[in-house]
Amino acid sequence: MPLAVPRSGDELLPAPHLLARYKVSDMTLFRWLKDERLSFPQPIRINGRRYWRLADLQAFEARQASKEAA
């Protein structure tokens, strides 16, 4: 069975890459996930590992940018 290649909108980012993207620690990420006011995207769990949809992260970044501009 061939492996499915994710489409550009369905790209998944593993936790270590997410931490590097935002230059934060795992504890900071934990706090972001628990803060309902922040609305940080929840991860998808695959075999116990956490992944985030790139499109969800980009939407989050756009929301944050619009808050800062206001």
Give the relative orientation of helices 26-34 and 15-22 as an angle to the nearest 10 degrees: 90
For residue 21, the one-letter residue type is: R
Looking at residue 1, its pLDDT comes to 47
Looking at residue 57, its pLDDT comes to 96
Looking at residue 8, its pLDDT comes to 56
Q: What residue ranges do the domains of the chain occupy?
A: 11-69
Looking at residue 23, its pLDDT comes to 97
- pLDDT per residue, tens digit, the chain (70 aa), is 454 545 555 899 999 999 999 999 999 999 999 999 999 999 999 999 999 999 999 999 999 998 877 6
- The CATH number that domain 11-69 falls under is 1.10.1660
